[in-house]
């Protein structure tokens, strides 16, 4: 672990520039899901308890480098104040002499002991996404210490995620620390055997992911539409199923890479097929090589689920990304639900370290009622996937990790 924790920093009397992810959904001018806001509370409270002043940096939407009143972070203030149980000061101009003076004034106010300050959307400035030196310097002038608590933005080399870490004493916040620790346990130095579940519609979107995983895990379980492409590549008839048949050679290459690396790839051994893509469509269970020519594969069958459950019982670590079938429409969520719930049971029993994230994964695990049972569920999306692909995340590398 090359990065520093909050506890390793002297924060008393310091201005702590804290990068957070509060890019939350808003409906009718109100935050409709405050989950991301609630997850930064431990970091903000830790800074306050250490005597520091948290100055929150965040983006909201994609304003393309210019002010947009519709994308002002002012809309999140009520939800942020509710989550923290205290008032939050809002600074509308996050850089320049005016910002420094306003922050100094807030900190000096009577009754404003250790205030929480939120700066306006950093993406109102083109220097943020360009990681421009002058913008980085202007932000750095507002603080004494930098804390990154936004793993979800760590795959971007922006001023507030990467540039500041190179200008100020830097550390990881509580949420970032939890994320990095979970990822280290999952693929950095995992307990073996390690299994990975990779599902979803297209192989083409996860080529780097698959190529990296076959060199790092012992078992790779492939589901969803991706599995259809692999079955087709093996000469299995898949009827009218969603598949990228033009990637058959790529699928065979990944199978060969896995064999050379000692990774066993697991594909469905039986299938749930239907003639229509809709909830509760008439369906049947068939053997892997018996898909009717006019049917589509929408889920893995019960024998496949039993095989996955048995495999998970023999593994020590699980990394999960993507559903095993068309989980959005019952009953084609059965395989995802069954395997996810078993992973949660094994985790609760202390037999499995389970880390999940990316894409539809969070929704699928929540729908299965299994998310709370996993060791860690990341909401980071793109950053989680790039980490699984073995890529360097600029926001983490800048912390020394």
Picking from 311, 307, 305, the residue whose alpha carbon sits closest to that of residue 323 is: 305
Q: Any idea which architecture 6-175 has in CATH?
A: 3-Layer(aba) Sandwich (3.40)
CATH of 190-388, one of 3.40.50.720, 3.40.50.1260, 3.40.50.300, 1.20.1250.20: 3.40.50.1260
174 known member of a binding site? no
Looking up tokens 């509710």 gives: 82
Tell me: pLDDT of 112 over 60.
no
Residue 401 pLDDT level (bands cut at 50, 70, 90)? low
8 Å CB contact between 360 and 327: yes
Looking at every residue in the chain, the average pLDDT score rounds to 95
Give the DSSP letter string of 169-183: -EEE-HHHHHHHHHH
pTM exceeds cut of 0.75 = yes
384 known member of a binding site? no
Q: Where are the beta strands (DSSP E) in 10-165?
A: 15-19, 26-27, 30-31, 53-57, 89-91, 117-119, 145-148
61 known member of a binding site? yes
- Give the residue range(s) of CATH 3.40.50.1260 domains in the chain: 6-175, 190-388
pLDDT at 380: 87
* Crossing angle of the two packed helices 41-49 and 77-84, in degrees rounded to 10: 60
How is residue 37 annotated by DSSP?
H
pLDDT at 382: 87
Tell me: pLDDT of 182 over 60.
yes
Percent of the chain whose predicted confidence (pLDDT) is above 90: 89
pLDDT at 94: 83
pLDDT for 150-176, tens place per residue?
Answer: 999 999 999 999 999 999 999 999 999
The pair phi, psi for residue 343, each rounded to 5°, is -60, -40
Better-predicted residue by pLDDT, 230 or 358: 230
User: Which residues are catalytic, by number?
Assistant: 36, 202, 359, 382
pLDDT at 320: 97
- Please state the rounded mean pLDDT for residues 200-211: 91
pLDDT at 349: 97
pLDDT for 340-398, tens place per residue?
Answer: 999 999 999 999 999 999 868 998 999 999 999 999 999 888 899 899 999 999 999 99
23 known member of a binding site? yes
245 known member of a binding site? no
Looking up tokens 């250490």 gives: 50
How is residue 58 annotated by DSSP?
-
- Please state the rounded mean pLDDT for residues 239-263: 97
pLDDT at 2: 79
127 known member of a binding site? no
- Go through 36-69 and write b for each residue having 16 or more CB atoms within 10 A of its CB, e for each that does not: bbbbbebbbbbbbebebbbbbbbbbeebeeeeee
C-alpha span between 358 and 32 (Å, rounded):
21
Tell me: pLDDT of 330 over 90.
yes
pLDDT for 42-96, tens place per residue?
Answer: 999 999 999 999 999 999 999 989 999 999 999 999 999 999 999 999 999 888 8
């Amino acid at each position: 672990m090359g990065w520093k924790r909050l506890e390793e920093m002297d924060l008393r009397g310091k201005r702590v520039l804290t990068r957070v992810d509060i890019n939350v959904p808003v409906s009718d001018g109100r935050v409709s899901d405050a989950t991301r806001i609630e997850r930064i509370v431990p970091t903000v409270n830790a800074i306050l308890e250490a005597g520091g002043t948290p100055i929150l940096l965040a983006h909201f939407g994609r304003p393309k480098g210019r002010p947009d009143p519709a994308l002002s972070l002012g809309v999140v203030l009520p939800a942020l104040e509710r989550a923290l149980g205290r008032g939050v000061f809002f600074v509308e101009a996050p850089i320049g002499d005016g910002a420094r003076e306003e922050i100094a004034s807030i900190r000096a106010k009577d009754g404003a002991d250790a205030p929480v300050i939120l700066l306006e959307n950093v993406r109102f400035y083109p220097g943020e996404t360009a990681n421009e030196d002058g913008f980085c310097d202007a932000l750095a002038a507002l603080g004494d210490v930098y804390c990154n608590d936004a793993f979800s933005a760590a795959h971007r080399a922006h001023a507030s995620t990467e540039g500041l870490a190179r200008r100020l004493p830097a550390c990881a916040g509580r949420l970032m620390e939890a994320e990095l620790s979970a990822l280290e346990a999952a693929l950095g130095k995992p307990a073996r055997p390690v299994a990975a579940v990779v599902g979803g519609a297209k192989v083409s979107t996860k080529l780097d992911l698959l190529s990296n995983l076959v060199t790092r895990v012992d078992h790779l379980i492939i589901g969803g539409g991706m599995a259809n492409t692999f079955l087709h590549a093996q000469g299995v008839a898949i009827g009218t199923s969603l598949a990228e048949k033009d990637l058959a050679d790529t699928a065979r290459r990944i199978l060969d890479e896995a064999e050379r690396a000692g990774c066993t790839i697991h594909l469905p051994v039986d299938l749930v097929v239907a003639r229509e893509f809709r909830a509760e469509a008439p369906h049947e269970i068939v053997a892997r090589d018996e898909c009717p020519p006019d049917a589509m594969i929408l889920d893995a069958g019960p024998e496949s689920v039993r095989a996955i459950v048995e495999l998970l019982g023999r593994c020590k670590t699980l990394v999960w990304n993507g559903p095993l079938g068309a989980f959005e429409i019952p009953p084609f969520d059965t395989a995802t639900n069954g395997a996810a719930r078993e992973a949660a049971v094994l985790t609760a029993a202390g037999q499995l370290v389970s880390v999940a994230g990316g894409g539809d994964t969070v929704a699928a695990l929540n729908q299965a009622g299994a998310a709370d049972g996993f060791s860690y569920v990341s909401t980071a999306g793109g950053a989680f996937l790039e980490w699984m692909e073995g890529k360097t995340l600029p926001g983490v590398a800048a912390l020394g990790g």
